[in-house]
Amino acid sequence: MAHLLLSLPAADALAALPGLRRELLEARNPFSAAFWESAESVLGLIADHRATVGDVRQWLEATGTEPTGIIGLYVWEDESDRTPLAQEIHALLVAHLEKRLITGDIDPDRLVAGDRAATDGYRELQEHWMTSPLPDGRVPMTELLDEVDEDFFAEWDAAEQAASDELRAVLAEVGERRRPEAELEGSCRALRAALARGGWPADLMASCGGVDPTDLPSDDAELWLTLAAGVVHPVGEPPEDDLAEHLDEDDLGGLENDVSLIALDHEEWLDVGAALARGGPGTPASAEDLARYAGGEDGDDDLDVLVGWFGTVVELWRVLGVINDLEQLTRLGWWGLPEALLRAWAHEA
């Protein structure tokens, strides 16, 4: 009934309420006074253009048979956007709620009144069902979250491929970039010593690159590219306690996930990599320069955020020899950074 009313123009639905109420009363299924009062209130808000999405959503959920928008870690898409799996699980959950409503385990009048205990109980009932096995052995929450992960990784892979293709096109325009053997050897000698000593930022670099400081690759190019790719795509858990001593509190917001040390997307990395590749050795590469290459503008809050994240990148790049003490791109960085980006984007989880 709630969905039917919402499918009509609000004014028409309001006009139809008295007749619907009489018909249901005659059919001995009168609904409660609380339902009709809440329906009139919500439809009135919609007709007056004062209703929010939250108002409508809350009213639907108060029927006791509409799943809450967020259950645990899962967010229901709009009906038209649900996958076949989500449609199936949603229908099964609705059927379960209908049964519990009939048995009196759900009280819609308390829900529509905003009773806290009833609302909490309604969520807990859904969460219990979502995390319990179905007769066929599937656990609804696990099935839905696995599907979300599959979609996310597919989108991520597509973004990596697109970024790789575009960077290769840029490199074709730039032309040959020879590997500077002397600079690479000197950088790796210093890196091996720094990783052996440990501390900031060597420990961070080791964890991001997924290397064991006591068992490093013997090949200099392999070591360097592994560490440089780890800056773009961290593969290990960042040492958060160490980071807290060196980063502002705002820069630590993404560290709940062990691969989100540097919260930069493919497009931002691509913009930076393309700008530096085109600019060549000597191109300015401070945190602010990198933020501007990535699309930040003066006076833009995004610029400040990007500068904060690129501040960590600059720290690591300086140790790698990507940039010099003047925060300019080196010959090693000109050769190695694009190669590291391509390696990072080819990463297989």
Query: Alpha helices of the chain — where are they, by DSSP H?
Result: 2-7, 10-26, 33-47, 53-61, 84-102, 108-112, 116-130, 140-174, 181-197, 202-209, 220-232, 240-244, 266-279, 287-293, 301-320, 331-345
Quick one: pLDDT at residue 92?
Answer: 97
Q: What is the per-residue pLDDT across 141-153, written as a single tens digit (0 to 9) for each?
A: 999 999 998 988 8
Quick one: pLDDT at residue 237?
Answer: 65
CA distance 239 to 261: 10
Quick one: pLDDT at residue 241?
Answer: 52
The residues that bridge with 110 in the sheet, in sequence order, are none
Q: What is the mean pLDDT of each run of 10 residues along the chain (349 residues)?
A: 93 94 89 92 94 93 94 92 95 96 94 94 96 96 93 86 95 96 97 94 92 95 96 76 48 37 82 96 96 79 84 94 97 97 78
Q: What is the per-residue pLDDT across 290-316, written as a single tens digit (0 to 9) for each?
A: 999 998 776 676 788 888 889 999 999
Q: State pTM to two decimals.
A: 0.64
Quick one: pLDDT at residue 262?
Answer: 56
CA distance 96 to 133: 13
Residue 51, both tokens: 């209703």
Quick one: pLDDT at residue 256?
Answer: 36
Which DSSP letter does residue 248 get?
-
Q: What is the per-residue pLDDT across 91-141, written as a single tens digit (0 to 9) for each?
A: 999 999 999 999 999 999 999 999 999 999 999 999 999 999 999 999 999
> Which amino acid is present at 107?
D
Residue 171, both tokens: 């490199």
